[in-house]
Amino acid sequence: MAILYGSTISARVYFERHLTIGRELTAATPASGAVKRGTTPQDARSLLTASSAKRRASRRTANTQPENGNVPSSKMAAQDLLTQRVRKLDVNVAMLCEQHRDLDIQPWISDGTKKAAIWACGRLPFQQVPTNPTTWFVKGKVGGVHLYSCYAPPSAPIEEFESFLDSLTEDARRQDLLAIAGDFNAWSIEWGIRVTDRKGEALQEALSSLSLVLINVGAVTTYRKGAASSVIGLTFISSALAKGGYEWRVDEEFMNSDHQDIIWEINSTSRGGWSRNLARSKPVSLVE
């Protein structure tokens, strides 16, 4: 399955949107630089998640003059760029974080703040969607896996952040196969930041109760601007998925963005997923 996390869907500083794209994998040799863990059962369902960070989709598209001489609106420009991107990559799901607005695309779901969203853009439909909007996260079930796209604003006081984590963990605790990705604006040495703040401590405590695995590799940075760098995009998966094997890497390709794409694969033995052998699969290269 696939997810795009970051932004075509945009850059952040203070980032408008984040996008995550994934797609069904094709048989090939694992990509150079990929980090592989766990085993790969022959009957595993393979999911790819690509996390991409901030970028100004509307600005790039608006600079291109269409044949009829009319410059498209920023809304249509962003929608067209996103549509072209997922079509090119043949992705199944796009997860967005810190988006600017919902796009007029279906099936599309978002949280109560409209900052986190999930788009089932491929051949696999939503198997389950929320009936009531939540704050700072949205959940959709695709391919037998519950996907959570999250965005917690940096200005949020610790009390609101902890309330968000309580709601997230209460919902996620009922699921066996899940993946949580997003920008929590929380610092911790556990994901490569030099210091741990109160939000980082709260996030670690909350997600540890779910037996989740952080699949970010070491201190590989996902945000880079000049001499500054940090780990912004976080990806957690359930231990049940981690046992099936996974890969995670930061795409070093230049994306004209402060945020690097993150490409990862997980295997699920759940019904309704994809049937691909991870050992013979190659993550797609995301080219914007």
**Rounded CA separation 26/114 (Å):** 33
Provide the CB-side half-sphere exposure for 30 (13 A, CA): 16
**Rounded CA separation 235/5 (Å):** 10
pLDDT for 24-64, tens place per residue?
322 222 333 344 444 343 333 333 333 333 333 434 443 44
What's the pLDDT at 23?
34
Length of the chain: 288
Q: Is 287 inside any structural domain?
A: no
Which amino acid appears at position 277 of this protein? N
* Residues of the domain holding 32: 2-282
Residue 252 buriedness (CB in 10 A; 0-12 / 13-18 / 19+): exposed
pLDDT for 61-116, tens place per residue?
434 444 444 434 555 565 676 677 677 766 777 777 777 777 777 788 999 988 89
Q: What's the chain's average pLDDT?
A: 67
pLDDT for 215-263, tens place per residue?
887 666 655 667 666 666 788 999 888 888 887 766 665 545 565 666 6
| Model-wide pTM > 0.85 | no
Q: Locate tokens 């993150």: which residue?
A: 262
Q: Is 124 inside any structural domain?
A: yes
Helix 158-172 vs helix 198-208: crossing angle, to nearest 10: 10
Residues facing 47 on adjacent strands: 266
CATH number, domain with residue 83? 3.60.10.10
Give the chain's domain count.
1
Q: Is 170 inside any structural domain?
A: yes
